[in-house]
Amino acid sequence: MTEDARTMPETSVERRRLYLYLLPFVAFPLLLLISAFIIVPTQWFDLHSGNTYLPNLGYGAGLMHRNCEVLLYGDSSALVGLNPAIIQQQTGLTACNIAEFEGITLMSHTLLIDMFLQHNPPPRFVVFLYTPEDFSVSNDWSSFSVGTFEGVSFLLEHARNLNTAWLLASHPSITLGWAELGLRLTLEHLHSEPTPYAVAHIRETTNGQLPVTTDNLARCDSDIRNRLPDPAWINQLRQRYGTNGTRVIVDATPTVACDPSLKFFQQHLNGLIDNSPYQPIPISSFSSDGRLHANRQGAQLLSTMVANQIASQLNQPPATVTAGNTGER
Amino acid sequence: MLFSSNVFIFLFLPAALAGYWLLTRFGRTALLTWLTLVSLFFYGYWNPAYLILLAGSLLMNFVVSFRIDAGRPETSRSHWLFIGIVANLALLMYYKYLFPTLNFFYAHGLLHRSFANVVLPLGISFFTFTQIAYLIDLRQGIAQRQGIVPYSVFVTFFPHLIAGPIIHPRELMPQFDKDRIHGLRADDMALGVTWFVMGLAKKVLIADRVAPLADVLYAHPANAGFATAWLGALAYAMQLYFDFSGYSDMALGLARMFSIKFPINFHSPYKTESIIDFWQHWHMTLTRYLNDYVYTPILRWVNQRRMEAGKKVTRKAAATPEGFLQIILFPTMTTFFIAGIWHGAGLQYLVFGLLHGFYLTVNHAWRLLTPRGSPLHRVVPAPFMIILTFLCAVFANVFFRAADVHDALHVVATMSGIHGMGPGFAAFPYLGDIPSVSRFMASLKSAAAALSICFFIVWALPNTQEILGQLPDDQVRMPSLLPRLAWRVSAAWSLGIAGLLCVTILLLDASTRFLYFQF
């Protein structure tokens, strides 16, 4: 287009031609986004995305009339580290693990527990286990280490309401990134076989635990994860779920002695959590996944720790049970 | 905010355009104010605290411009120009060079403590250089002093704020005049969107996809063998070109959406036959800036001193050893010493600059010794010159990309075969770090194929401004296999480019930052 032609006024025919030229630039991206919101939060996508966790996403929300006397919740360290079978064996109480990845727990907070409680009898114990940096509510979703994609999927699959719409609209970068990744995975796996049934329902066979089978952790992660815990948030967990005879235990996943953030966590978590004083456990208890994912040996250790806490509380009168002393009404 | 981010594409840009369109009826001041506001939002989205820095720099230069403006005593104008330049450079020095320099001294035992580096504000070099140019042009009577609103748009207009092109006041200011600013135009929008998408595709589909191979090489240079070092270096050459020229295309396209024209910044530099031509086609506005504000003043000063000493300043004089040293070598090396420092605080950037200064000096010597029409020119075929120029750029890029001079020298030694052939490409232990969307770069065959496609694009196809018919009058079309390929407002082009946009959108989340963002 020459300079002379450019400075000439556009005729209506010319303008219509230009508008038609521009139309696909608006329409195509919008159609892409809309199709993402239609395709990605579906069972088909969960089974075909290549992400084997997606069919197991929101496991706790699907449980009905399940007698879970001990309800285990938290981030991925609880998901892989708390074995309901061990807890049941050591306490005699039935246990269910409905924990999810960090992104899901930090985006939807305790929505999953609320959904579980709507369809199941109240548990005798609710146990929260979070990695030590996850004891506060952050509105900065980009700071979450893992699970933002699953977090958005969970909200769109299980909580389609105005709150979710507002939440996603106020985090546009994460939401748009979810749509883009979801569509890309759709195209990549369009003709792939669905996730096998056994993998898609693995949590049903383990009462919710997702055991990991990777190598043991060999050396310490040098990441410094000094995020302050929020005492009010922890208290709120105890108050909100410590009703109808339910007792609440809030634990921080133990880390390793060489964790550069250990002292920070000890300084700020002691007194707030039920596994105070916050102590490290051997590095051989963790898998090479990082993020304090316990291996089989570590899961034994963590599950026993929780079982002992429960057993100790079963032998005590209710009023003195929790570190925050607001655990029961 | 990145041009290649989903928030920019889906939210910021449509909102900026919609606001501009709605304000059209309210006239020039409303339009310029809107551009300033959205540009400040664009900048502050990354880190709101640095808005204060940008606003402070802008206001300081605006105040200084009053003191430099015509009508004041000449001596006072010069003093204020000096103050303005020093203040701008001091800001740049503080954020970009002070703490790295102090830490360099600490590392060499000259200081007893280290210092935490401050976060480099985005685009500080670009908005500082833009404003220095304004003050100099004002002092020389080339530019006219502007009101606060047009001046703010000149400095902050978001398409060039972060990574250029570096724009002369005389190029941009007249476009803000009352009779030239009209709001949105459909023809400019069509051209601008097309230009933007082409740049976005260069960045997202090419630069970011080949980049991981360069990343793993430069993260672990000691583990690379001959083939890995070469493939990594070539991948970086392609990443750098498609990243920065893609960014420039996006900047030009975005500006054009608002009916504002920016100067071309890349014109097929890898097709050039000499390093002098290379710099006239690579980051052209920086080259022009260095030429206008560094090289030419130095050369003028040298020539003046020679004339005062009764020496000649002719081409013939430059061909003598003494004349060559003074007229060619000294201004060139000094300019590229500064260019090297401009690119970053680190010895490797200095070496990068000096290496290019050396190339240019040799190239000038060649031109002096073999003037146009020399039979030697016929002996050396053009493809050889093109490849030689490209290889010179590749070697200099090693210093530009490496973490330090030690790593760069190691890579250069590996590429030169000094370390032998080393382990084969497949044996490089960090290929597993290449993300899944660039997995093809982890295999020798597919990486070579991907780089071959890049070479085909840069050497055989016309560039974006040639396709779009936006070649400036002072530039000639470079040779290509598709000399007639020309963009038109047609259904085929619309569907093709919009389809390209969709493909890039699907890879946006796998995209990385721009290489020139924190210069």
- Give DSSP secondary structure letters for B313-362: -SHHHHTSHHHIIIIIIHHHHHHHHHHHHHH-SSHHHHHHHHHHHHHHHH
| C-alpha B355, offset from chain centre | 18
Mean pLDDT of all residues belonging to chain B: 90
Whether A326 has a pLDDT exceeding 70, the answer reads no
pLDDT at B457: 96
pLDDT at A130: 92
More confident residue, B124 or B515: B124
- Which tokens sit at A181? 């990744």
Closest CB from B469, B489, B508 relative to A17: B489
Cβ–Cβ of A32/B505 closer than 8 Å? yes
| Chain A residues whose beta carbon lies within 8 Å of the beta carbon of residue B197 | 25
| Chain A residues whose beta carbon lies within 8 Å of the beta carbon of residue B186 | 10, 14-15, 18-19, 22
pLDDT at B88: 93
pLDDT in tens, B451-509: 999 999 999 999 999 999 998 888 888 888 888 899 999 999 999 999 999 999 999 87
Phi-psi region of A96 (alpha: psi -120 to 50; beta: other; left: phi over 0): beta
Which residue of chain B is at minimal alpha-carbon distance from A18? B186
| Chain B residues whose beta carbon lies within 8 Å of the beta carbon of residue A18 | 186-187, 189-190, 489
Whether B356 has a pLDDT exceeding 80, the answer reads yes
The pTM of this model reads 0.87
Asked whether the bond before A277 is cis by omega within 30 degrees of 0, the reply is yes
pLDDT band at B437 (very low <50, low <70, confident <90, very high): confident
CB-based burial label for B24 (10 Å; 0-12, 13-18, 19+): middle
Closest CB from B11, B186, B193 relative to A15: B186
Mean pLDDT of all residues belonging to chain A: 85
Which residue, B395, B356, B393, is CA-closest to B241? B393
pLDDT band at A323 (very low <50, low <70, confident <90, very high): very low
Distance CA A92, CA A124 (A): 12
| C-alpha A265, offset from chain centre | 21
More confident residue, A6 or B223: B223
Please give the average per-residue pLDDT across B393-418, as a whole number. 94
The winner for highest mean pLDDT among A29-33, A104-108, B43-47 is A29-33
Whether A325 has a pLDDT exceeding 60, the answer reads no
Residues composing chain B? 519
pLDDT band at B328 (very low <50, low <70, confident <90, very high): very high
Whether A16 has a pLDDT exceeding 70, the answer reads yes
AA letter at B449: A
Whole-angstrom CA distances from B427 to B226, B409, B444, B466 are 11, 22, 11, 42
DSSP-assigned states of every residue in B26-51? G-HHHHHHHHHHHHHHHHHTT-THHH
Cβ–Cβ of B187/A1 closer than 8 Å? yes
Closest CB from A6, A28, A177 relative to B498: A28
Closest CB from A19, A28, A173 relative to B502: A28
Residues near B397 by Cβ (< 8 Å), separated by ≥ 6? B233, B236, B237, B240, B352
Residues near A216 by Cβ (< 8 Å), separated by ≥ 6? A283, A284, A286, A287, A288, A295
pLDDT band at A327 (very low <50, low <70, confident <90, very high): very low
Closest CB from A19, A29, A32 relative to B186: A19
Q: Does B501 touch chain A (CB under 8 A)?
A: yes
DSSP-assigned states of every residue in B250-286? HHHHHHHHTT-------S-GGG-SSHHHHHHHSSHHH
Please give the average per-residue pLDDT across B199-211, as a whole number. 95
Chain B segment 477-496 residues within 8 A of A by beta carbon are: 489-491, 493-495
Domain borders along chain B are 6-183, 191-510
pLDDT band at A9 (very low <50, low <70, confident <90, very high): low
pLDDT band at B362 (very low <50, low <70, confident <90, very high): very high
pLDDT at A260: 83
pLDDT at B514: 53
Q: How many pairs of residues across A and B have Cβ atoms under 8 Å apart?
A: 84
Q: Does B466 touch chain A (CB under 8 A)?
A: no
Q: Which ipTM value was assigned to this complex?
A: 0.85
Please give the average per-residue pLDDT across A64-91, as a whole number. 93
Cβ–Cβ of A176/B193 closer than 8 Å? no
AA letter at B401: R
Closest CB from A17, A23, A173 relative to B5: A173
Distance CA B278, CA B266 (A): 10
Lowest-pLDDT range of A23-37, A163-177, B40-54, B169-183:
B169-183
Angle between helices B148-156 and B28-44 (to 10 degrees): 40
pLDDT band at A3 (very low <50, low <70, confident <90, very high): very low
Whether A311 has a pLDDT exceeding 70, the answer reads yes
Cβ–Cβ of B7/A17 closer than 8 Å? no
pLDDT at A5: 44
Are the CB atoms for B273 and B385 separated by under 8 Å? yes
Lowest-pLDDT range of A267-271, B343-347, B385-389:
B343-347
Q: Is the dihedral of CA B101, B103, B106, B108 positive or negative?
A: negative
| Chain A residues whose beta carbon lies within 8 Å of the beta carbon of residue B201 | none
The DSSP 8-state label assigned to residue B224 in this structure reads -
| Chain B residues whose beta carbon lies within 8 Å of the beta carbon of residue A2 | 469
pLDDT at B512: 54
Q: Does B175 touch chain A (CB under 8 A)?
A: no
Lowest-pLDDT range of B185-189, B422-426, B502-506:
B422-426
Closest CB from A1, A32, A180 relative to B191: A1
- Domains contained in chain A, CATH given: 68-146+197-320 (3.40.50)
pLDDT at B444: 93
| Chain A residues whose beta carbon lies within 8 Å of the beta carbon of residue B205 | none
Whether A162 has a pLDDT exceeding 60, the answer reads yes
CB-based burial label for A283 (10 Å; 0-12, 13-18, 19+): middle
pLDDT at B510: 65
**So which residues of B are the catalytic ones?**
343
Which residue of chain B is at minimal alpha-carbon distance from A15? B186
pLDDT band at A145 (very low <50, low <70, confident <90, very high): low
**Which parts of A109-147 fold into alpha helices (H)?**
111-119
Determine the distance in angstroms separating the CA of A131 from the nearest CA of chain B, rounded to an integer.
26
pLDDT in tens, B57-87: 999 999 999 889 877 888 889 999 999 999 9
pLDDT in tens, B145-169: 888 999 999 999 999 988 879 988 8
pLDDT band at A176 (very low <50, low <70, confident <90, very high): very high
Which residue of chain B is at minimal alpha-carbon distance from A179? B506
| Chain A residues whose beta carbon lies within 8 Å of the beta carbon of residue B187 | 1, 6, 10, 14, 18
Determine the distance in angstroms separating the CA of B10 from the nearest CA of chain A, rounded to an integer.
8
What backbone phi and psi angles, to 5 degrees, belong to B120?
A: -75, 120
Cβ–Cβ of A32/B502 closer than 8 Å? yes
pLDDT at A220: 76
Percent of chain B exceeding pLDDT 70 equals 98
Which residue, A57, A76, A73, is CA-closest to A133? A76
Please give the average per-residue pLDDT across B210-224, as a whole number. 93
pLDDT band at B181 (very low <50, low <70, confident <90, very high): confident
Strand-pairing partners, residue A97, are: A72
Cβ–Cβ of B10/A21 closer than 8 Å? no
Whether A144 has a pLDDT exceeding 80, the answer reads no
Please give the average per-residue pLDDT across B278-286, as a whole number. 94
Whether A1 has a pLDDT exceeding 50, the answer reads no
Please give the average per-residue pLDDT across A169-198, as a whole number. 90
Which residue of chain A is at minimal alpha-carbon distance from B2? A173
Percent of chain A exceeding pLDDT 90 equals 46
- Which tokens sit at B207? 């630069």
pLDDT at B207: 95
- Which tokens sit at A280? 């490290």
| Chain B residues whose beta carbon lies within 8 Å of the beta carbon of residue A181 | 509
Q: Does B403 touch chain A (CB under 8 A)?
A: no
Lowest-pLDDT range of A187-196, A216-225, B121-130, B256-265:
A216-225
pLDDT band at B384 (very low <50, low <70, confident <90, very high): very high
Cβ–Cβ of B502/A18 closer than 8 Å? no
pLDDT at B360: 96
Whether B264 has a pLDDT exceeding 70, the answer reads yes
pLDDT band at A271 (very low <50, low <70, confident <90, very high): confident
